[in-house]
Structure formats: C-alpha cells, structure tokens
Amino acid sequence: MYEGLMAKSSAPSFPQPRLVSTTQDLADSLIRLREERFLTIDTEFMRERTYWPELCLVQIGGANDVVLIDTLAEGLDLAPLADLLADESVLKVFHAARQDLEIFLYLFDALPTPVFDTQVAAMVAGYGDQVGYDSLVGSLTGHAIDKSHRFTDWSVRPLTPAQLTYAAGDVTWLRLVYERLVKKLEQEKRLEWVSAEMAELADPATFRADPEKQWERLRARTGNRRMLGILRAVAALREREAQRVNVPRQRLLKDESLLEIAATAPATVDALARVRGISRGLAEGRTGQGLLEAVKAAQALPDSELPRLPKGRSKDAPRPSAALMALLKVLLTTCCEDHDVAPKLVASMDDLEALALDPSVPNPLLSGWRKRVFGDAALALRNGDIALAVKKGKVDLIPCESSAK
C-alpha cells in the first residue's frame, strides 16, 4: 500500500463546520467555495419510507470552510447549491457517489459535474472491492473516524452538535483521502483509469429507473413470452405508481405478487384479490385497476411485441464451460493481485461469460486498461497459449509448450 500512510500521526486541524439554514446565508457561504480547486461533498438522507430520497443535510468541505446545509429548513432555496454543482471549474469529490448523485439529479434535473469518486479510485489503487469510507480513512491516514451516528434519523430537528460533528467528518477527512489517493494513482500512472470509470457517473440514465425495464430485475424463471409481457406491464405499472405516491416499490407491491400476477393473468378484481400479497382494498382501488388494465393490454399484444429473456438468461442460451469459467476467475484474481486492483472493477461475471463463449464479440475486457491488466492474459489462456501453475504458493502464468514452438 501507500508507504508511510499507516503510521498514525496527530489529527489535522479541520475548519469549524457552519450550519446554514437561510437562502442568503447559503449563497454567501458558497461564494468562497466556488473559488476552490476541488470540494468534498456528502449527503444525509432518509429513504426507508419513500421512493424518492428525502434529503436532510448536505455537507461541503473546502480547504478553509465546512458548510452544512440544512435542506429541511423552512423557505430555503437550494438554487445556489445547484449553481455550484453545475460549475465545471470546481471538481466535486464524493465517496460512493451513486446515491448522492441520484439525489441531486432528482432535485435539480442535472448531475454535478465534474465528479471524482474515491471509492472507485480506491478500487483502482488496490484497496479492495467497494471499500467503505471509514476503512479508507483508516488505511490512508491511520485514524479511526466516529461511526456513532451512522444510523441516526437525520430528519429530526434540531440537529445535535454531535450529529453536526459527525456529518462534517464525512467531508473533512475526505479531502485527505482524495489528495493521497490522487498522489498514489499519479505515481502508478493509473489516474486515467479512474477517469474512464467516471463516464458512467456522468450519464443521467445510470440513475433513472426505466419502468419498462424493471421486469428484468425480477429474474423470472420462464421463457414464456406472454407471461414475460404481462410481467413487463405490471412491473412498469408498479414503478410508476411507486413514484407517483412516493413509496418504496416493495412496500407498494412485492416482487412475488408481480410474478404471480404474470403467471395467473387475473382478469377480475376477485381474481386479483386472490393473489398473495394483494389486499381486497388494493385490488378494488386505483392500483388494482391499473394492474388489471396492464394485464389486459399485455394479453392483447401481438407475439412480435412480446419481450424475451435477456441474453444469457434463457434456458436455451449457450453456456460457457464451467471449467473454463473457473480458470478465468483464477486468472482474474491472479492478474488483479499482480496489478493491485480490485477484481470487481475489472470484470463482471457477464464479461467473463461473454469472453469464454466468443472472444470476437466486443467486450470491455478487450479494450483500454482492462485489456492490459487482464484481457490479453485471458485471451492467451482461452487460446491455449498460457497455463496456470502454482509456484512457491502463488499462481503463476507459464507459456504452453505448443505455443513456444
């Protein structure tokens, strides 16, 4: 790892956090922050009872300022924050950015730009798969951070001094994490690897659930296209209803209920009410009527418009050799150990299966930095040009005799 970082030193002196709850104070506080080269940002939100996240607090850390924005304050206009997040001259640094970015996209209909995610950077730098913030702070600074308010209710007011101190720590230590990660990645010439991964976080489609594709995540175990058509229709209906009434999709209607509706195709309120998880009241109400209409519409679709299982999910889809997949997984681990990078960042199971089945098909493993780290070796293994051997307790790659002749 990064030499010398594990040695614990005295805690740095961080700026005193300032709670902002009026529009004027927010605008004034962000003026200086817009002069920064980079800012660290985090959010506290509640989502257990709603479809859309309820933003409760935004923390922003600069070199000399830490601003905590009480987003639940009455009359607060977040327009100055939207302007800051859209300012392309200031880098926005997050850790595990996806949920934070989703919140800002929902609020402002635009993603912050530009963005740097230290969790992704840590995976590139060899700190493991999806390393947590507290673990990363410990690894890079030698300090343990306060975890006591991780599960606090951030919607309750007033916020206590202890909560505010905890919230500030999510952006103060993050500045040190960012600077040290960047230094390490620059030394190892891997900063461009992180930049390549940031493209997904700059695409709004990454964070917007498409109702028409929700059926795919339900993992239906059937190739019956009519049933899949009904499943697609009722899953889309549930997604739109959950968004409309702002409740979690599973609280509105369980996945198991949707799968049973798709299998039984109820045509009446009585039939719908017999589905497990569907109450009589729901069956007779707006949601129940929408479900029945969705089933009827899917039943009327011509065969040509019915969906198919995603590629690779069908029982008839070709499957790669289990032995070859096992070898590729070992090779992936070996290559990632050699390059000190997280395997999860390099290859997904779908990527490995596609490569095992047909290396001529376009594959992210065969381009960019992934090709250098793993793709070239994977092709060589698949083509019989190299083999795996154990030497001194470690897996090693050796040329095959046939390829050496």
Distance CA 110, CA 268 (A): 42
Clarify whether residues 166 and 265 are in a common domain: no
Domain that holds residue 338: 322-399
Clarify whether residues 47 and 148 are in a common domain: yes
Clarify whether residues 44 and 175 are in a common domain: yes
Domain count of the fold of the chain:
3
**pLDDT at residue 136, rounded to an integer:** 95
* Domain containing residue 142: CATH number: 3.30.420.10
Which of 300, 330, 355 is a domain's end point? Answer: 300
Clarify whether residues 134 and 182 are in a common domain: yes
Domain assignment of residue 1, yes or no? no
CA quadruple 357, 359, 363, 368: dihedral, nearest 10: 150
Bridge partners of residue 396, in order along the sequence:
389
**pLDDT at residue 319, rounded to an integer:** 86
**pLDDT at residue 129, rounded to an integer:** 86
Write down the residue that tokens 């923390």 correspond to: 59
Clarify whether residues 184 and 237 are in a common domain: no
Clarify whether residues 61 and 199 are in a common domain: yes
**pLDDT at residue 312, rounded to an integer:** 58
Domain assignment of residue 44, yes or no? yes
Which of 206, 235, 256 is a domain's end point? Answer: 206
Domain assignment of residue 315, yes or no? no
Q: Listing from the earlier edge strand, what are the strands of the sheet with 17-20? A: 17-20, 66-70, 54-61, 38-46, 91-94, 115-117
Each of the 405 residues of the chain gets a pLDDT tens digit; together they read 333 344 444 668 899 999 999 999 999 999 999 999 999 999 999 999 999 999 999 999 999 999 999 999 999 999 999 999 999 999 999 999 999 999 999 999 999 999 999 999 999 999 988 889 999 999 999 998 888 888 899 999 999 999 999 999 999 999 999 999 999 999 999 999 998 889 899 999 999 999 999 999 998 989 899 999 999 999 999 999 999 999 999 999 999 999 999 999 999 999 999 999 999 999 999 999 999 999 999 999 999 999 998 765 556 668 899 999 999 999 999 999 999 999 999 999 999 999 999 999 999 999 999 999 999 999 999 999 999 999 988 999 999 876 544
Distance CA 255, CA 249 (A): 9
Clarify whether residues 200 and 285 are in a common domain: no
Clarify whether residues 227 and 292 are in a common domain: yes
Domain assignment of residue 9, yes or no? no
Bridge partners of residue 43, in order along the sequence:
58
**pLDDT at residue 150, rounded to an integer:** 81
**pLDDT at residue 403, rounded to an integer:** 52
Distance CA 268, CA 201 (A): 44
Dihedral sign (CA 46, 48, 49, 51): positive
Clarify whether residues 147 and 177 are in a common domain: yes
Domain assignment of residue 152, yes or no? yes
Clarify whether residues 25 and 167 are in a common domain: yes
* Domain containing residue 351: CATH number: 1.10.150.80
Domain assignment of residue 24, yes or no? yes
Clarify whether residues 202 and 232 are in a common domain: no
Which of 173, 206, 239 is a domain's end point? Answer: 206
**Alpha-helix runs per DSSP H in 66-160:** 79-86, 98-108, 118-124, 133-141
Domain assignment of residue 12, yes or no? no
Clarify whether residues 44 and 189 are in a common domain: yes
**pLDDT at residue 21, rounded to an integer:** 98
pTM of the model: 0.88
